[in-house]
Amino acid sequence: MGISRSFVGLLIMVGSLAAAHAHAADAESIARGKYLYQAADCYSCHGGPRGSPNGAASSGSSLKLPSGGLGLETPFGMFRSPNITPDRQYGIGAWSEAEFKTALRDGIGRDGEYLFPVFPYTSFSKLTDRDIADMYAYIMTLPAVPLPNKPHEAKPPFGWRSLLIFWRALFFDNAPIQIEPARGSDWNRGNYLVHAVAHCEECHTPRNFLGALITGRSFSGNIGGPDKQNAPNITPDVRTGIGDWSISDMEQLLKTGMTPEADIIGSGMKAVVQGTSKLSDADRHAMAVYLKSIPAIHVDLPPPKLASQSK
Ligand code: HEC
Ligand code: HEC
């Protein structure tokens, strides 16, 4: 009796030591995951509408829980973000890490269905395995919100998932980002953060009539983009882009949302800055270094009216 009791005690002790160990390893992964989740703006599309129960912020964070339901207006109709809190019935609580990775890397959902590229998996497909695993670890620590998804209101035929097979064949490339050693570590880190994580191109690159990014016009602006946002040319073109911005001007924008003209950024960029403001100075510097190096593209359109300039 005495022996078996101490044996059970030992088992419990070993068990809790193992748990403590796993927990220590996880804590680092969860912290990294939170950092990336913020920089990738997952909450801005997946956060519920303000004022509704799912719009409540999670404790200890100013970010809304990603319980979905937000309407995303596109030329192809209105799409609604799904619940990605760990609720097992309505969210992704029952998803394995592998299934989560398939959604981000391949744009394929849990039932094998093609996901609509309103979900910018076209950028997230470039995330490393480790970064995806850490984001998964973080999301699984969020409170579960038991709210069902709302259906998309896409215009036919754009709501037909099966047709995405053609779109994917034409436009989807999930090749990883190549390291260019000659460019140095800041540039390479910036390239990764700008493309895979913060997906700046998804708003700042113009799209063709099928909604795919026009490669070759990268970062040259998208007027009247999703949610009727006017994302300006952010290439270093001096007249129609931001060629007169220094590296520290860009760092300042990503940290505080303030432009060199002392305007506060508005529209969809506000949520982006909410994420980039939480990055390290080193990571903001890396992004600014990379953005300074992209090819300048001259745009023949009059510059859009920006929310930040409407005062
Ligand atoms: C621009 C808006 C937007 C952003 C940013 C965004 N998502 Fe989504 N996400 C969507 C939409 C819309 C869907 C639904 C796609 C569909 O129905 O095919 C979706 C689908 C998903 C799914 C599949 C869920 C399901 O039930 O099938 C996962 C997982 C997901 N997103 C995770 C993320 C993560 C993690 C991030 C940040 C790294 C993120 N999303 C950023 C809009 C977004
Ligand atoms: C959700 C869409 C979206 C994403 C993603 C996005 N932007 Fe923006 N960005 C905008 C919009 C819209 C504006 C115009 C803001 C305004 O009207 O005040 C803007 C403005 C800017 C400006 C100001 C340019 C000027 O001429 O004043 C810069 C610089 C910028 N974005 C850089 C970035 C970078 C870097 C990223 C990636 C970290 C990024 N943006 C991601 C939508 C986006």
Nearest atom within ligand 1 for CA of residue 149: 26
Q: Is the CB of 100 under 6 A from ligand 1?
A: yes
pLDDT number for residue 29? 97
Q: Can you tell me the mean pLDDT for 108-118?
A: 97
Bond prior to 157 in cis (omega within 30° of 0): yes
CB-based contact 159:152 (threshold 8 Å): yes
| pLDDT of 12 above 90 | no
The residue whose CB lies within 8 Å of the most ligand 2 atoms, and thus the one to mutate among 74, 269, 308, is 269
Nearest to 226 by CA among 74, 71, 59, 14: 74
- 250-277 pLDDT, tens digit per residue, is 999 999 999 999 999 998 999 999 999 9
Instruction: Determine the distance separating the centroid of ligand 2 and the alpha carbon of 101, expressed in angstroms.
Output: 27
Residues 6+ apart with CB under 8 A from 241: 220, 232, 233, 234, 235, 296, 297, 298, 299
Q: What's the pLDDT tens digit per position in 210-233?
A: 999 998 999 999 987 777 788 999
Nearest ligand atom owner, CA of 36: 1
Token digits for 260? 């060199």
Provide the 10 A C-beta neighbour count for residue 289: 21
The residue to mutate among 67, 111, 119, 160, having the most atoms of ligand 1 within 8 angstroms of its beta carbon, is: 119
137 close to 184: Cβ distance less than 8 angstroms: no
Radius of gyration of the chain (CA): 21
Ranges 55-59, 134-138, 180-184: which has the least confidence: 55-59
Q: For residue range 43-82, what is the model confidence (pLDDT) as tens digits?
A: 999 987 643 444 454 444 567 899 999 899 998 999 999 9
- Residues in contact with 278: Cβ distance below 8 Å, sequence separation at least 6, in sequence order: 35, 38, 39
Contact 265, 259 (CB under 8 A): yes
Higher pLDDT, 63 or 187: 187
Q: What is the mean pLDDT of residues 128-153?
A: 95
In this structure, the residue with its CA closest to atom 9 of ligand 1 is 119
**What's the pLDDT at 223?**
84
CB distance 271 to ligand 1 below 6 Å: no
Q: Is the CB of 290 under 6 A from ligand 1?
A: no
> What integer best gives the mean pLDDT of the chain?
88
